A = this chain, B = another copy of it.
């Protein structure tokens, strides 16, 4: 690969002049300028990002840390981030933490040696990246947290409005006539889980309802978690008539459990998920869900990092994205016959299936 020296030779100018032409760091007379550009064009020369980074103490790399790209919510974030990064000449180094803050720390330390311009991170469980973030900032890199925040996070962030999303979904169920509402939250040490639970509770309170503690279950953010907790919920007397699942994976597990118990969704029990993943459109019944744009989350995060990079002294920003309640087939008014033993619902199951 050609280097600047070679370009300088070809153009018959000095190395410094080439640099000036390439970076617009000084006005260069047209004939020289043209000769340099020609040489660049002919050789297909591209400056070494390594050397440039070394010299400028900063690369056009963005470190992107996510729990697990296999979790169907995260690819959207990554894609949104990559698009904005690419549009601005930046590249993403992608790392998975498996929600392990130990592994997160390893990545954080290692990535800093590339002198990235920014760090976009979806914090792992129990992450406390205050110290690391400080270190990154000191080296001139912008740090943005996405989707969930570490305890006492004081830096820039982009999240969805989880509380309002959950509030709207819950209110919708209440308006349909549901009174025995259950919620399956994600791990409650995560801020997004906490906020969704808060939204749920606020809607319940506002409607003057009481929710017994057993109706609020904490689960892992996956199908297995949703399945297990739904099994528990379905055995409660009286049985809840609606479940707010705090993400779509949990909702899928819930649907599975409902089906296994020979109950029908939505006739016996309504389910609303959270995230609005594509998979909610392919289940039977199609899952209602609080949609949030993972793509937008990532895109805004990188934009925020670039802004911060340009102006390091402006006040910290917390961008909060709107959610959208997508009602599909998994919600209905509560069953009329309120016998909690499930006898009545067997019949409704049959009717519902025929109707489908």
On A, residues with C-beta under 8 Å from B are: 1, 44, 46-51, 53-54, 59, 61, 64, 68-70, 72, 74-76, 78-79, 82-83, 86, 91-96, 109-115, 139, 252, 255-256, 278-279, 282-284, 350, 353-354, 356
With both chains docked as a complex, state the minimum distance between the C-beta of A309 and any C-beta of chain B, in angstroms.
Answer: 18
Given known A68-B79, A79-B68, A110-B46, contact A94–B96 (CB-CB < 8 A): no
A337 to chain B, nearest CB (A): 21
The residue on B at minimum CB distance from A89 is B110
Residue of B75, B82, B353 touching A75 (CB-CB under 8 A) = B75
> Which of A72, A113, A256, A278 has the largest count of B CB atoms less than 10 A from its CB?
A113
Partner of A252, one of B82, B111, B282: B282
List, sorted by A's number, 14 A–B pairs whose CB atoms are closer than 8 Å: A46-B113, A48-B115, A50-B113, A61-B93, A69-B69, A69-B75, A82-B96, A83-B96, A86-B96, A91-B110, A279-B282, A282-B283, A283-B283, A350-B354
Among candidates B83, B91, B279, B284, residue contacting A284 with C-beta atoms closer than 8 Å: B284
Chain B nearest CB from A347 CB (Å) reads 12
With A68-B79, A91-B93, A93-B93 given, name 16 new contacts (CB 8 A): A1-B113, A1-B139, A46-B110, A47-B113, A49-B114, A50-B115, A64-B94, A69-B75, A79-B96, A91-B110, A92-B94, A92-B95, A94-B94, A283-B284, A353-B353, A353-B356
B50 in contact with A114 (CB, 8 Å): yes
Shortest CB-to-CB span from A42 to chain B, Å, is: 15
Q: How many copies does the complex hold?
A: 2
Contacts of A46 in B (CB 8 A): 109-110, 112-113
Query: Which residues on the B side are within 8 Å of A93 (C-beta)?
Result: 61, 91-94
A86 to B95, CA, bound (A): 9
Bound form: Cα–Cα A286–B5 in Å: 62
Residues of B within 8 A of A61 (CB): 93
Q: Bound complex: CA of A76 vs CA of B95, how far in Å? A: 14
Cα of A50 to Cα of B354 in the assembled complex, Å: 65
Query: Do B69 and A113 touch across chains, with their CB atoms under 8 A apart?
Result: no
Are A72 and B72 in contact, CB atoms less than 8 angstroms apart?
A: yes
Residue of B at shortest CB range from A49? B113
Which one, B51, B91, B252, B283, contacts A54 given CB within 8 A? B51
